[in-house]
Chains A and B, each alone.
Chain A
Amino acid sequence: MNTIPAPTIEYGTLAPLLVVFGAAIIGVLVEAFAPRYLRKAIHVPLTLLSLFGAFALVLVQVLRGQVATTASAMGAVAVDGPSLFIWGVILVLSFVCVLLINDEGHFVASAAAVPGSADEEEAEAEGGGGHTEVYPLVLFAVGGMLLFPAAHDLLMMFVALEVMSLPLYLLCGLARRRRLLSQEASMKYFLLGAFSSAFFLYGTAMIYGYAGTVSLPGINEALAKGSGLDPLLMLGLALLGVGLLFKIGAAPFHAWKPDVYQGAPTPITALMASGTLVAAVGAVLRVFWVGLGNLDWNWRPIIWGVAALTMIVGSILAITQTDIKRMLAYSSIAHAGFLLVGVMATFGTAAQNAVSLKAILFYLAVYSITTVGAFAVVTLVRDPGGEAGHLSRWAGLGKRSPMLAGVFAFFLLAFAGIPLTSGFFGKYAVFAAALNSGTQPGDSMGGWMAGLVVVGVVASAIAAFFYVRVIVLMFFSEPAADGPAIAVPSTGTVAVIAVSLLVTVGVGLYPESLLGVANDAAHSLFIR
């Protein structure tokens, strides 16, 4: 009999992951054993510290120059430069989101209680602070997000996908106000998420059938040998794509996004709009570059179409939205499209890939941090019934609270990609990468790349309209007599907004700060 070789685990490399998961498990234990009144006091420092610690560990790896060059954990996880960059971004984002989550009043005290029932009142009176399960759930989700883009084989990716998604399904349903919407969002997200992950899994199975392995480099090798035209492969690729594109919210797999973003508690929306997107784009990049690098002739036209469709659908549908979160959801769809333009450009030589990768990483970082800031502002504009979601309630905000409105306007301008905001450089980087890739010798899609960029530009112009519309509402309209109240922001929220603003402004004025980091990360490329 063969002896099963003992698996080697690179603990040092994987430490950030382990810290987050460890903290999550401790969080579960706390939930189980700590008295209710203590729970929050334990959870908050635990969560924040673990995220901070994980971030520190990422930094340590980067600063010591010990970026792994081979896959860890027996080839299951690849902690390479891009992974570390994405981890850093996700950890910062989740840290910031936890600060938002930490705020009073976002989460229901007892998810099981029927809204308006005596149970609920009781739970409210007793617990006050809402569900403390939120914290370990967030940690699990964050852990999944970390693992997702780093997964080096499709199975690990699937598991990471589920670890990331399952807690989020629950978190979506925990809003304290507008319970029905929250629950509906939760259910839709869950059903559609499960549905899409089934596609992902079936795609994995097909590819396994074709390549005999689910390891990404293994698949690539098989592709190099095979004809590449196997229907099995194509089917697998398509179904895998469904699962991945669903997560980043690309059209036509975007339908869940507006509903879920609108219904979920805003801090969770912030986490999904930032962290999940970053993780999912990271995973997409890895799959296409590492796993399907030898098949770019096949998938690039498809991504072209999806990217164009996504940008246009996102921009156009956002125009007529009346709910701020829903509008931001469509905006997020449009931005997913812009990111896909960058994904289009990741092929061919390593140098070209690095350029595109840098662009996407940079885009991800700046877009997601701005998004968190924007949602943080959304949590502050309140009605008697909770957050004032309807846009008409935002009229005249600039007169009531010029600072807040100004900051929000700035975030919107960053989304629109106006120069001297971080968003502009993100958009520029992606478009430049796309055009640059189009001029690579021998690329038959050169003209198509220019075309896609023009589509992106047109979509940007359309998208600018709805960002500007909100600014018009806030600044150029007279405030309604019973306009929304501005909640007194907690220190956490202020910190979140301040950090986002700082990054958005700072990177807008001096992008090199972040670009340098993205550049270094991208140059080490994905481990192939």
Chain B
Amino acid sequence: MTTHYLVLSGLLFAIGALGVLIRRNAIVVFMCVELMLNACNLAFVTFSRQVGNLEGQVIAFFVMVVAAAEVVVGLAIIVTIFRTRRSASVDDANLLKY
């Protein structure tokens, strides 16, 4: 029952994490992070049902709000860097190293 949702959540999280690792485009990377957050939401909701209180569901709402705020900030940053470099590849930005 809830196990499936948890597995799905785990899969989503893993996919998100993997996406962050393998995608170059900053937007996609960022979307993968959002995917991870949503995996969390799914887990919260599932657990909410499993443990039998509503906290998890409330948390999911909070997370959505935070994620939205993150999008705002994130896109602003990515756009700025795109405008400067004419590239949204995260690998291109590697002046800071060693």
Chains A and B are bound partners: yes
Contact A159 B66 (CB under 8 A): yes
User: Which residue of A181, A204, A209, A259 has the most chain B CB atoms within 10 A of its CB atom?
Assistant: A209
Write the chain B residue with the least CB distance to A156: B62
Distance in Å: Cβ of B9 to nearest Cβ of chain A: 8
Q: Jot down 16 A-B pairs with beta carbons below 8 A, ordered by A.
A: A115-B84, A158-B66, A170-B77, A173-B81, A184-B93, A191-B33, A195-B17, A198-B17, A198-B40, A201-B37, A208-B44, A208-B47, A208-B48, A209-B6, A209-B43, A209-B46
Contact B62 A191 (CB under 8 A): no
Asked whether A409 is an interface residue with its Cβ less than 8 Å from the other chain, the reply is no
Question: Which residues from 184 to 207 on chain A have a C-beta closer than 8 Å to any C-beta of chain B?
Answer: 184-188, 190-191, 194-195, 198-199, 201-202, 204-206
In the complex, which residues of chain A have a beta carbon less than 8 angstroms from the beta carbon of B78?
187
List A residues at the B interface (Cβ < 8 Å).
Answer: 111-112, 114-115, 155, 158-159, 162, 166, 169-170, 173, 179-181, 183-188, 190-191, 194-195, 198-199, 201-202, 204-206, 208-209, 212-214, 258-259, 262-263
Asked whether B90 is an interface residue with its Cβ less than 8 Å from the other chain, the reply is yes
In the complex, which residues of chain B have a beta carbon less than 8 angstroms from the beta carbon of A183?
77, 80-81, 84, 93
In the complex, which residues of chain B have a beta carbon less than 8 angstroms from the beta carbon of A173?
77, 80-81
Contact B84 A191 (CB under 8 A): no
A194 to B77 alpha-carbon distance, docked (Å): 13
List B residues at the A interface (Cβ < 8 Å).
Answer: 6, 9, 13, 16-17, 20, 26, 29-30, 33, 36-37, 39-40, 43-44, 46-48, 50-53, 55-56, 58-59, 62-63, 66, 69-70, 73-74, 76-81, 83-85, 90, 93-97
Write the chain B residue with the least CB distance to A161: B66
A202 to B70 alpha-carbon distance, docked (Å): 16
Contact B56 A208 (CB under 8 A): yes
In the complex, which residues of chain B have a beta carbon less than 8 angstroms from the beta carbon of A206?
43
Known: A184-B81, A187-B77, A195-B33. A262 touches B55 (CB 8 A): no
Contact A191 B43 (CB under 8 A): no
Distance in Å: Cβ of A446 to nearest Cβ of chain B: 38
Write the chain B residue with the least CB distance to A321: B98
Contact A181 B95 (CB under 8 A): yes
Q: 7 shortest A-B CB distances, which residue pairs?
A: A212-B51, A198-B36, A205-B43, A209-B47, A259-B96, A184-B93, A201-B40
Contact B96 A258 (CB under 8 A): yes
Contact A170 B76 (CB under 8 A): yes
Distance in Å: Cβ of A108 to nearest Cβ of chain B: 10
In the complex, which residues of chain A have a beta carbon less than 8 angstroms from the beta carbon of B58?
155
Known: A162-B70, A166-B70, A181-B95. A202 touches B13 (CB 8 A): yes
Distance in Å: Cβ of B83 to nearest Cβ of chain A: 5
In the complex, which residues of chain B have a beta carbon less than 8 angstroms from the beta carbon of A159?
62, 66
Contact B36 A202 (CB under 8 A): yes
Contact B33 A162 (CB under 8 A): no
Write the chain B residue with the least CB distance to A170: B73
Contact B90 A191 (CB under 8 A): yes
Contact B40 A194 (CB under 8 A): no
Besides the contacts A169-B77, A202-B39, A209-B51, what 4 more A-B pairs have beta carbons closer than 8 Å?
A112-B83, A183-B80, A187-B77, A209-B47
Contact B55 A213 (CB under 8 A): yes
A259 to B94 alpha-carbon distance, docked (Å): 9
Contact B40 A190 (CB under 8 A): no
In the complex, which residues of chain B have a beta carbon less than 8 angstroms from the beta carbon of A111?
80
Known: A112-B80, A166-B70, A173-B80. A184 touches B96 (CB 8 A): yes
Q: Residue B93 contacts which of A158, A188, A212 (CB distance < 8 angstroms)? A: A188
In the complex, which residues of chain B have a beta carbon less than 8 angstroms from the beta carbon of A208?
44, 47-48, 51, 55-56, 59
Write the chain B residue with the least CB distance to A260: B96
Contact A166 B63 (CB under 8 A): no
Distance in Å: Cβ of B26 to nearest Cβ of chain A: 7
In the complex, which residues of chain B have a beta carbon less than 8 angstroms from the beta carbon of A199?
36
Q: Residue A187 contacts which of B20, B50, B93 (CB distance < 8 angstroms)? A: B93
In the complex, which residues of chain B have a beta carbon less than 8 angstroms from the beta carbon of A180?
84-85, 93, 95
A213 to B97 alpha-carbon distance, docked (Å): 41
Distance in Å: Cβ of B22 to nearest Cβ of chain A: 13
Distance in Å: Cβ of A310 to nearest Cβ of chain B: 19
Contact A201 B63 (CB under 8 A): yes
A124 to B85 alpha-carbon distance, docked (Å): 20
Distance in Å: Cβ of B29 to nearest Cβ of chain A: 6
In the complex, which residues of chain B have a beta carbon less than 8 angstroms from the beta carbon of A212?
47, 51-53
Distance in Å: Cβ of A109 to nearest Cβ of chain B: 14
Q: Residue B26 contacts which of A179, A187, A202, A262 (CB distance < 8 angstroms)? A: A187
A204 to B53 alpha-carbon distance, docked (Å): 15
Distance in Å: Cβ of A160 to nearest Cβ of chain B: 10
Distance in Å: Cβ of A123 to nearest Cβ of chain B: 13
In the complex, which residues of chain B have a beta carbon less than 8 angstroms from the beta carbon of A195?
17, 20, 33, 36
A99 to B31 alpha-carbon distance, docked (Å): 37
A216 to B41 alpha-carbon distance, docked (Å): 20
Q: Residue B62 contacts which of A155, A209, A262 (CB distance < 8 angstroms)? A: A155
